[in-house]
Structure 1
């Protein structure tokens, strides 16, 4: 959500007497967004805030085939033998931190249950940190099929967007930035470390999550 829109919501929350504002983050490390954090800092005498950084929504993205750009010839992730391929960005080796939707919900609840510790903080949580290659290996194991792999290069996705293809390029640039070499989503060494343990959030399993998505 643009800063201007979040500002309007935060100002309305202040007027309504809301004590804790959780901005629309739920993705990458927000610390480089200096203007956003500077604005929040000016309001800390009126409202506290917590930015929850989760990485991509893994189970939701798998259902919509965004993590692997899976093509299955069906509306379901479960593949058909004749049409079963994925797109791997830069070989699928980039580590990215990701969270399932239910884990994100638990994180929000726990943040509100720990108001002092999480006050005016960037809070990093995860279900797990993985790679496209690991997810593909799990898919092949659970489906019993070898998937065809189409290679994509990070720079091509960025170029597509810069050339004015805002529709096709938008998804391509997000995937390039998250899954390509030098991706933005590995939260292993973020400042302040992961908050899972402090918030009572257990790590989850790639295989169990994919199994649930496939409804096996």
Structure 2
């Protein structure tokens, strides 16, 4: 659906997501009307923004613009509504654009980087997932794991580094970069490293361990 057309409050999940993520978007998401960004194209080009970068932001808006999802379990809930805006950067450093406004006042924003990664612009740029799709997949997995786990354990700071991931395998659909998900015999582990790396603050490391999962709880998608 194009972001500059009327929106249905009940979203249709974009193609290419896992079944779990499609179900999460369509059952928990709301699509709110958006003005669209193509109307700013000429003005942005006059201010030096490359047309290719505007097209990239518009493609994001077509796919995700106006989608409101439940809060993430970290990063103060993540973007309130996925929504692109004017790209910023330079030819030397690369161009990024906002991925959506924050739910609360924060020291960083959510961005789509030069290579399409979804991340946070904190003390420095920190990519979390290889794409916005990966971010949405991670939200869906957290929602799924939270529903089916018998126990949820939160580990913070230096204790995160002591987690033993032997016998675990990465969950590929979240496209993890700084943040990753790991699947074990009867548990899932989410590692949130973004704030720790973005602010050079190891105390911000956090892991969520979802235990007591059966086969459906481990995969379910």
Q: TM class, shorter-chain normalised?
A: under 0.3
Structure with bigger RCO (C-alpha 8 Å, 6+ apart): 1
Which of the pair is proportionally richer in strand? 2
Structure number with greater Rg is 1
TM-score between both structures, scaled by the size of structure 1 = 0.21
